[in-house]
Chain A
Amino acid sequence: MVILTDVLGVLLDVHLLLVIVASAIYGLVLGAIPGLTALMATALLVPVVMFMEPVPAIAAIITSSAMAIFAGDIPGALMRMPGTPASAAYTDDAYSLTRDGKAGLSLGAGLFSSVLGGLLSALVLTLAAPNLAELALQFSSVEYFWLTVLGLSCATFVGGSSLLKGVAALLFGLGLSTIGMDPVSGTPRFTFGVTNLLGGLGLIPLLIGVFAISELLRTVTLPATGERQARPAVGSISAGMGRLMWHHRFEVLRGSTLGTLVGALPGAGADIAAWIAYAVTRRSQKGKDPNAVEQKVQRIVSAGAANNASLGGAYIPATVFGIPGDAITAIVISVMFLKGLNPGPTIFLNNPTAIYSIFAIFFVANILMIPLGILCIRTFGLILKVPRTYLTPIILLFCIVGAFSVENTLFAVGIIAIVGLLGYFMEANDIPMAPAVLGLILGPVIEQTFMTSMLKSGGEVSVFFDRPLAIALAVATLGSWALAGVLKLVDAAKARPVLT
C-alpha cells in the first residue's frame, strides 16, 4: 500500500504528465502517417530520452509506442495504407467497412480494442511479470523453433482464396529473408558483393514498400472520377462501443492473451502478434461468411487488441531479466541501465516505486488513448479533405523519410521503390501479401533456431524432441497441421456432391 501512494505521488507530477501528453501526440501523429513506424518513433526519441529522468524517459517511450501502434489503424481504415506494419493484418477488413460507410464502427472497434488490449496486458505485467518471465527462461532454441513453425502455419489462414498461391507467397517471403548474412555462420548470401545487402533488405523498408508504395501505385492509376467516393464520413466513434466490446469480449480476451504472450517472447513484436490473433480468429470463424460485418469486426477487435497487448508483454522479460522482446524494449533497457535503474528481479525489491510507476504508465497511457485517439481520428478525417493529388507526393516523401530514418542508408530508400513495384504486381496477380510478410519476419528466426539446434546436437534431429517443453510444442504444431489437413479433406468430401 505504501508503494501505491508512492506510485501515485510519482504519477501526479506535472512534468511527467506533460511528457506523457506530448509523447502521446507525437506517437499518434507518427503512427497515423503511412511510412512512419512505431519503431521509428522510438528510435528518434533516443537522443531526447537518454538524458532525461528515468521514469519520464520510459514514460515517453511507452506512451508514444502504444499510441503509434493504435494510430496505425487510422490510415489503414481510411486509405487502405496501414500507418504501421502492426495494423497491416486487418487493413483490408477495416477499409472494406469504411467503404460500406461504417468507418466509425471500424475505427471505434480498433480504438477500444487497442485500449482494452493495452490495459489487460498492463494488468498481467503488473501482477505476474516475474512468473511469466520465469516461463520465458525455459525456452531454448529448440522451443523457439517449434513456436516459430507454429506461427508460420498461420500463413494458411491469412492467405486469401488460393492456398497454393499463399504457400508460394510464403516461400517467396522466406526466400527474400535469406538475402544478407546467414544468421549462423555469417556467410554472405545473394549479396553479389554489395555491402548494403549484407544486412538484408531491411524489414521496415520492405514493409513500407509492400504496404504504402504499392498502394500509392494503385492510387495514382485509379481513374480520377473515383476521388469523390474516397472521402468517408467517420460518424460517431464511441457510440455503442461499450456494448460492442462486451459482445466481442472473447475476441478481446483472445487477442490480449495472444498479444501479451507473443510480445513476451524475444524476437516477435506487435506485427506478428496481430497476424497470429487475426489468423486464430479467422480460423474460429469456420463455416461463417468471412465477409460479414460481424466477422470483420471480430477480426479487427482481436488483432487490434493483440498488437497493443504485445507492447506490454515485451516489458515482462525486459524488466525482469533485462532481455529485450523487440527493438523498442532494447532501447528501453539501455535507457534503464543508463539511469542506474538496472532491470532484473532485484528491481522489484530495490526500486519498487520506479518499476511500478513504469507499469502504471501503461494504464495512464491506454486510458488517455480514448480521448486523444478520437481527436486524432477526427483530425485525420480533415486531412483526407486535402485533394488526393497533393496527398500522394506528401505520403511518398514520408515513406522516403521513414525508410531512411530507420536504416540511415539511401539503399533503403531504393528498396521501397523496388518492393513497392513487386507488391503491386503480386496483388494484381492474386498472390496474397500476408503470407509473404509472415515469411519475411519469421524466416530468419526459423533458420537461426534450426541451425543453432543442429549445431548444438552435432546434426542429430532428435534434439528437437528431447526436452519436455519441446515435445509439447512439437505435438501442438504437428497436431494443428494434421487437423488442418483433415478438415480440408472433410470439406472437400462435403463440397464434392454439391459441385457435381
Chain B
Amino acid sequence: MKVQDVLVGLFFIVIGILMIGHAAELKPPRHLKFGPGFFPLLIGSGLIIVGGVIALLGLRSLRTEPLWHRPEWSRTRQGWVRFCSIPAAIALYVLIVDAAGFLLTAVLVMVLVLAVSGVPLRRSVPAGAVTAVVLTAIFASVLHVPLPWGPLQNISGWLLW
C-alpha cells in the first residue's frame, strides 16, 4: 500500500514522539551524565525533524495525489487472502508448534499456504509431509536444532543422531 508522503512524514513524527516520551522516563543510573534515554532522545528528535520535512514537502502534492494508493492485488479478496497467508502461517506456527510438534506444524503451514494458491489437499499434504520430514531429519536429527517434537517427545531419543 502506497500512502501519500504527508502520511509517511506523520508516521515518522509519531514514532519520534513515542521514542522521546519513553526516553524521558528513563533516569540515568548513578552518576552517569548521559543515561539510557540520551540516544533515544537524539534519534526521536531526528525522526520528528526529518518526518516533518517529508510531510511538508508532501503537502505540495497533496491535492493532486490520493491519500493512499491501493496496490493491484488488494482489489480482490483472493489477493488479500494470499497476502495474509504468509503472516498467518507464521502466527499459526508460533501458536501451535510447542504442542503439536514441528512435523505436524510444518505440514499445516505448507498446506495452508498451498491451499491459498489453489493447490488441492491430495497434492499439498504429501508435499508438506515430505518437506517436514526432510527438514526434521536435517535440522533436528543431524544438526540438533531444538525443534519441538510435540507428541513424539517420548521417543525423541531415537530420532536424534
Question: Residues of A at under 8 Å CB distance from B?
Answer: 44, 47, 164-165, 167-168, 171-172, 174-175, 178, 182, 184-185, 187, 189-190, 213, 216-217, 220-223, 389-390, 392-394, 396-398, 400-401, 404-405, 408, 410, 413-414, 416-417, 420-421, 425, 428-429, 431, 443, 447, 450-451, 454-455, 458-459
Contact = CB atoms under 8 A, between A and B. Distances in A.
Given A213-B86, A390-B114, A417-B86, A175 B40 contact: yes
Interface of B: 1-3, 8, 12, 15, 19, 22, 26, 28-30, 32-40, 43-44, 46-47, 50-51, 53-54, 57, 71-73, 79, 82-83, 85-87, 89-91, 93-94, 97-98, 106, 109-110, 112-114, 116-117, 119, 127-128, 131-132, 135, 139, 143-147
A397 B54 contact: no
Contacts of B147: 401, 404
Contacts of A213: 86, 90
B140 to A, nearest CB: 9
A396 B90 contact: yes
A185 B32 contact: yes
Given A396-B90, A397-B131, A420-B87, A405 B145 contact: yes
Given A187-B35, A217-B86, A172 B57 contact: no
A214 B93 CA distance: 18
B54 A164 contact: yes
A428 B109 contact: no
Nearest to A216: B86
B26 to A, nearest CB: 6
A44 B50 contact: no
A171 B43 contact: yes
B94 A410 contact: yes
Contact of A421 (B44, B71, B87): B87
B39 A165 contact: no
B86 A185 contact: no
A171 B86 contact: no
B82 A221 contact: yes
B36 A187 contact: yes
Contact of A431 (B8, B91, B94, B114): B8
A187 B36 CA distance: 7
Given A190-B22, A223-B73, 6 more contacts: A172-B15, A178-B43, A213-B90, A390-B119, A392-B113, A414-B91
A394 B131 contact: yes
